[in-house]
Structure 1
Amino acid sequence: MNYFSPLILLACLVGTYAGLAQAPTIDQSIAMKSVSNPQLSPNGRWVAYTLTRANWDDNAYDTDIWIANTATGDKFQLTHSKKSNSSPAWSPDGKWLAFLSTRDEKAQLYVISPTGGEARPVSKFETGVTAFKWSPTGKQLIFSATVPDIKTDKERKEKYSDYEVVRDDYKMVHLYLLDSLDKEKPAVAKALTKGIGFSVGSFVVSPDGKKIAFDASKNPDIINGHTSDLYVLTLGDTITRKIVSLKGPDQNPVWSPDGQQIAFTTANENEFYFYSNRLIATIPATGGTPKTLTNTFDENASLLEWTVSGILFSGYQKTAAHLFSIDPASLKIDRLTKPDKLIATQFSFSKDGRQMAFVGAMPNQYPEIQTSIVSAFAPRVLTDMGTQLASYKTATREVVSWKSVDGNDIEGILIKPANYDPARKYPLLVVIHGGPTGIDLPSVTADRYYPVEQFAAKGALVLRPNYRGSAGYGSKFRALNVKNLGLGDYDDVISGVDYLIGKGMVDKDKVGAMGWSQGGYISAFITTYSDRFKATSVGAGISNWATYYQNTDITPFTRQYLQGTPWDNADVYQKTSPISYINRAKTPTLIQHGELDKRVPIANAYELRLALEDKGVPVKMVVYKGFGHGITKPKSMRQVMEENYRWFSKYIWGESL
């Protein structure tokens, strides 16, 4: 027997706690499969969906398309090629599925029979396909793509090698038409939009197939997202007209069933769109004055479909997520899904709008592909992802709430060991979500970044707080950390810690915190602002808002939340920056960051690391080569999770690993 096999080494790594063998290992957690993007066939009889799994051999997360029968639940894998196959879309007659595949490196369009067989390529576009839609005739596909290099671009690269003029060198995204889908070789795409006047975002074809509604911004730079407006293109002559131009982003057009109106999401002249509610509005397809519909819905309304029965949209309600319908005439809103605690997302609908498919879960359940009649909700579960957990004894999740320092109600997800003993006091690990408009939910998903199941099995409580700014609690709650980032967030976290200590559940001397992105920023704030925590882990976190503002690719985010720039609002930038409190810092800190992160540039990590080192605070920094803001490969995810496991095992449990 090889006593140094990977499995034995992993067992040594994760310790000998009695309940540990009953929890999934880090590798097993990373390898958990997940389903998403259910697409109901026009007749409602079939659902195409994607299944994602870890491919350890190629160090990738691979996605394939599966088909399920909505009546029998029978299912089969439709695509089997190497690389990922995603974004399935039914032809209007239901005889074909189009999808995107990276089997030739760049994403291209393929079509396949839903009964199986070989997929046929229908595009060979130089830059790859971004998104696509079927024409209602089923004889054409419209797609968006980044424009290829023109002759002068190629000559420039040849003469000077490659370089970029910042805020000037943009490659626009435009619309293209494929109208020869029955040929053996991919057809040449016809450009429908051109030039440097705008860059296309989402788009949809009118019911009669003669027009395309789309949103487009000044250029593809994320800092110009607020310039997104609505356009209508006539396919016959490719003439484009702008029909909506409100302050803030206007996006996601959806046609009315008769093709006379267009629904869309809008900030409705609110310049602070990062934390204000996105509303649904309608406008005549020829242009006019927009009419907002969802003013009484105090959350972001995610527009889905316009059927003869009303406009369908989804939205969070605290730690639940539901489907809603609004009558565009009376503005009456009805919730269509139940019970209250259901978490339902990613909806699609049959051609007549009477049936739907979605990803759904109740608390402590794994998300599954489900179907139901729209008007009489009675879900049928088609997948069995939850069986992956059958051989493990996993932690349990429940929603808890407490009062923050300023009296605001805060909720969070409390994760307890499977063998939780109410007579014991446990170590507490706080895992903080990103966003800040993210949200933690009580459903079960595969661990990423932080080995929650391993921590619970080792004997810890895990708290995932939905701190101020989180989605699901209304626009006022999302705005509570404006000019108050870090400070208000810390109050929400520490009051949750004190709540659990007061309940007699937590050992106050064994508390740690961790998070990625905005969660990494709050963890960095905890590092320098507080001495209450034994250890922290800062994943892709901000340490200095001025450094962040000067380097990030999303400067409007900072200007909105901090109400200005470092040049005109220096006091706010200073008081909300972890680095401002470095002289207080005592907490051992693990820093993890992607080398090529543009969202939170790695200068933030180096700044925090050096400051902690100068102050004599234990610090370790790990840089993930080739990665941006997220870790997208399973082997690197393994290192992230094992690094966190070792860090907290040392500082919370006193182990030497």
Structure 2
Amino acid sequence: MKTLLQPLFVLFWVGAFAQAPTITQSLSMKSVGSPQLSPDGKWVAYVLTETNWDENAYETEIWLANVASGEKFQLTNSKKSNSSPVWSPDGKVLAFLSTRDDKSQIYWIRPQGGEAKALTKFETGVSSFDFAPDGKSIVFLASAPDTKAFKERVEKYSDYEVVHEDYKMTHLFTLPFADTLSKLPTPKALTKGTDFSVGGFSLSPDGKKIAFDAAKNPDLINSHTSDIYVLTLADSSLTKIVSLKGPDSNPVWSPDGSQIAFSTTNEDEFFFYANRYIAVVPEKGGTPVVISQSFDENASLLKWSANGIWFSGLQKTTAHLFLLNPSTKKFTKITQPSDALATQFSFSNDFQQLACVLTSPNRLAEIVVSSTNAFAPKTLTQLGEQLKPFKTATREVVSWKSKDGTTIEGVLIKPANFDPTKKYPLLVVIHGGPTGIDLPSIAADRYYPIELFAAKGALILRPNYRGSAGYGKAFRALNVRNLGVGDYDDVISGVDFLIGKGIVDKDKVGAMGWSQGGYISAFITTFSDRFKATSVGAGISNWATYYQNTDITPFTRQYLKGTPWSDPDIYRKTSPISYIKTAKTPTLIQHGELDRRVPIANAYELRLALEDFNVPVKMVVYKGFGHGITKPKQMRQVMEENLSWFSQWVFGENAAK
């Protein structure tokens, strides 16, 4: 086992008398994911994530659980992380990705244990892989190695980039596999060149063909160019079988290999907030047929069995598994009860069993297994034991009417000793996206110390404002040309709803969020005088500045239906910086130095403007980080900074500092 600064038993002892986990304890909590059911359904491989404070990293190892007995044991144990387990078709071998050699490479190990053996030492590292149906080869995705000409260029001029030209294309490779291999096999390129960059792939049931999606290049601004191809391995012939407008991806073969299902926006021009549907096309090409339009949300395509097409999706604040009949286009919900939150599914070869990550309101996520015929989950992990030493807050889904009459839902988090006759400070924590969603399950706190806020005597509201996932296509489009403005109405109406219930002190309200949540918080800073403090995490302050610098310019064009050059008025209307003259709210700004999604110019612009208008502001820059803060020590600073900020401005503590 890895040596950790704070193993689980120490976590229990330290928090034994605490009402809520400390920031360090929360950041030290373990989590599970990526369950992979063995072909015969007898074992589940899954990934356990731990915090390694010594290395300042979240590290993952692969564990195995026996479905019948529930017995578990750790299968891998190495420097850095091991993840993405994949069973061989006969179940005798488990392959996985490991960063023990710095770049991610494929290793394999027997499920009984022993030393893991390397399969690749690929120059650029491996991003994903799968076994061929006969188990005799592996197909993987990786960035193509640098050409000789490129290496000579670097040698002559050092490193530079020609924007929109110097792309690292991702391609398919294959290598032979046998558990008797004595040396690293040599990979063979299956696709190559600069015509496209591969995204995801699927091998046909007979192993003779590979379906994959590929875009013009890996630049996010060209994700809409993704189409579906079929590669015939015998002669390396390549056929584009889907070329619809907009992104088409994630091909999945029918059991007989005659058809391919894939994810599509069905040529919707505004794909950032359009539904992702499931469509079917003959494997030789033809006219695709959309078959999941009766499901008004993103249908996440999983597998195709004799019983139908399996997909997962959100339904408001729940998440479920569904089975779609390709002929009737009708679907059936498989997972239960109605408030379940089930994700990350895998299946046995006969599709009689499934494994998934399952949680529900006020619970931590666990790995479970169940029959697919009658969902009755058997829990294999006990991550919830981590909460036993603490008195955690309670979560419930609430709803209210926004200014325009739209029904908005959110998660209301109450202190463990909540008294409905008292009035509490209220902190609004706003998710990103905008097509994110907040759910009533428990997850270890990361950017915002929710449990500590509740233990200090605050209510926390996490609104699923217009644009959030889970509520259908029409709801996701309600903030089009209405960003910030409609979002603020949804937030403030939720605040007023709780004030009206008599449980909120209207003079002690704060707001915070990251990314789109940071943008809405910045909008609150400049637009409203109702809040005592805000925290803007990686947030947009000026849509024009954002458009000119972000790595996803189509996002702004789709949501605002224009550019700063074609429609400057909508950019002014929806930008927090436009209302800077009315800003009064003390604001904490947190931002990654290398953020390309929301470039840090937005943070500097808001900070300077607030300073010029004498509004209290503090800005913290996280060196070396992009849009997300991903290491535990820096994440601890993010959380402690937010705790201190709201303790001062909302709770009235440390006012002299």
TM-score (norm 2): 0.97
**Counterpart of 1:161?**
158
**Counterpart of 1:110?**
107
**Counterpart of 1:298?**
296
Q: CA deviation at 1:653?
A: 1.1
**Counterpart of 2:405?**
407
Partner of 1:519, secondary structure, is helix
**Counterpart of 2:12?**
none
**Counterpart of 2:147?**
150
> Aligned runs of 1:118-157 on 2, under 5 Å?
118-157=115-154
Decide which of 182, 185, 197 is 2:183's aligned counterpart: 185
Decide which of 56, 74, 80 is 1:59's aligned counterpart: 56
Question: Is residue 40 of structure 1 aligned with residue 37 of structure 2?
Answer: yes
Aligned-pair RMSD on alpha carbons?
1.2
Question: Is residue 548 of structure 1 aligned with residue 546 of structure 2?
Answer: yes
Q: CA deviation at 1:198?
A: 0.2
1:349-400 deviation digits (Å, cap 9, x = unpaired): 1111111000011100111001111111111111000000011110000000
Decide which of 384, 387, 409 is 2:385's aligned counterpart: 387
Instruction: Please say if residues 294 and 330 of structure 2, whose CA atoms lie closer than 8 Å, have aligned partners that are also in contact.
Output: no
Question: Is residue 396 of structure 1 aligned with residue 394 of structure 2?
Answer: yes
**Counterpart of 2:349?**
351
**Counterpart of 2:206?**
208
Question: Is residue 604 of structure 1 aligned with residue 602 of structure 2?
Answer: yes
* Partners of 2:264 and 2:320 in 1: CA distance: 20
* Partners of 2:109 and 2:98 in 1: CA distance: 12
* Partners of 1:472 and 1:441 in 2: CA distance: 10
Deviates more, 1:587-596 or 1:371-380: 371-380
Amino acid at match of 1:72: S
* Partners of 2:25 and 2:236 in 1: CA distance: 52
> Aligned runs of 1:461-472 on 2, under 5 Å?
461-472=459-470
* Partners of 1:51 and 1:186 in 2: CA distance: 28
* Partners of 1:375 and 1:307 in 2: CA distance: 13
Amino acid at match of 1:125: F
Q: CA deviation at 1:185?
A: 2.3
1:254-275 deviation digits (Å, cap 9, x = unpaired): 0000111100010111111110
Question: Is residue 508 of structure 1 aligned with residue 526 of structure 2?
Answer: no
Instruction: Please say if residues 17 and 389 of structure 2, whose CA atoms lie closer than 8 Å, have aligned partners that are also in contact.
Output: no
Unaligned runs of at least 5 residues, structure 2 = 1-5, 7-15
Decide which of 473, 481, 497 is 2:471's aligned counterpart: 473
**Counterpart of 1:497?**
495
Instruction: Please say if residues 135 and 209 of structure 1, whose CA atoms lie closer than 8 Å, have aligned partners that are also in contact.
Output: yes
Unaligned runs of at least 5 residues, structure 1 = 1-5, 7-18
Amino acid at match of 2:597: R
Instruction: Please say if residues 426 and 509 of structure 2, whose CA atoms lie closer than 8 Å, have aligned partners that are also in contact.
Output: yes
Amino acid at match of 1:60: A
* Partners of 1:73 and 1:563 in 2: CA distance: 53
> Aligned runs of 1:197-276 on 2, under 5 Å?
197-276=195-274
Amino acid at match of 1:67: L
* Partners of 1:274 and 1:68 in 2: CA distance: 38
**Counterpart of 1:377?**
375
**Counterpart of 1:26?**
23
Partner of 1:340, secondary structure, is coil
Partner of 1:21, secondary structure, is coil
**Counterpart of 2:321?**
323
Aligned residues: 641
Amino acid at match of 2:530: R
Instruction: Please identify runs of 4+ aligned residues in structure 1 that moved more than 6 A.
Output: none
Amino acid at match of 2:99: T
Question: Is residue 171 of structure 1 aligned with residue 168 of structure 2?
Answer: yes
Instruction: Please say if residues 86 and 101 of structure 1, whose CA atoms lie closer than 8 Å, have aligned partners that are also in contact.
Output: yes
Q: CA deviation at 1:20?
A: 8.9
Instruction: Please say if residues 20 and 454 of structure 1, whose CA atoms lie closer than 8 Å, have aligned partners that are also in contact.
Output: no
Decide which of 71, 85, 89 is 1:88's aligned counterpart: 85
**Counterpart of 1:583?**
581
Deviates more, 1:356-365 or 1:172-181: 172-181
1:50-103 deviation digits (Å, cap 9, x = unpaired): 011111000000011010111111111111101010000000000001100000
* Partners of 1:79 and 1:180 in 2: CA distance: 20
1:100-152 deviation digits (Å, cap 9, x = unpaired): 00000000000000111110000010000011011001111100000111111
* Partners of 2:650 and 2:519 in 1: CA distance: 21
**Counterpart of 1:636?**
634
Decide which of 340, 365, 368 is 1:367's aligned counterpart: 365
Question: Is residue 446 of structure 1 aligned with residue 444 of structure 2?
Answer: yes
Q: CA deviation at 1:180?
A: 4.2
Q: Identity over aligned residues, as a percent?
A: 72
Amino acid at match of 1:353: F
* Partners of 2:567 and 2:39 in 1: CA distance: 54
1:311-345 deviation digits (Å, cap 9, x = unpaired): 00000000000011111011121111111100000
Partner of 1:574, secondary structure, is helix
* Partners of 1:238 and 1:143 in 2: CA distance: 16
Q: CA deviation at 1:422?
A: 1.1
Amino acid at match of 1:515: G
* Partners of 1:322 and 1:52 in 2: CA distance: 24
Question: Is residue 74 of structure 1 aligned with residue 71 of structure 2?
Answer: yes
Q: CA deviation at 1:184?
A: 2.3
* Partners of 2:593 and 2:175 in 1: CA distance: 39
Decide which of 539, 562, 571 is 1:564's aligned counterpart: 562
Instruction: Please say if residues 85 and 94 of structure 2, whose CA atoms lie closer than 8 Å, have aligned partners that are also in contact.
Output: yes
1:631-651 deviation digits (Å, cap 9, x = unpaired): 110000000000000000000
Q: CA deviation at 1:421?
A: 1.0
Amino acid at match of 1:91: S
* Partners of 1:204 and 1:468 in 2: CA distance: 35
TM-score (norm 1): 0.97
Q: CA deviation at 1:21?
A: 2.5
**Counterpart of 1:420?**
418
**Counterpart of 1:49?**
46
1:281-316 deviation digits (Å, cap 9, x = unpaired): 000101011011011110000000001000000000
Instruction: Please say if residues 20 and 457 of structure 1, whose CA atoms lie closer than 8 Å, have aligned partners that are also in contact.
Output: no
* Partners of 1:409 and 1:565 in 2: CA distance: 30
* Partners of 2:353 and 2:562 in 1: CA distance: 47
Question: Is residue 100 of structure 1 aligned with residue 126 of structure 2?
Answer: no
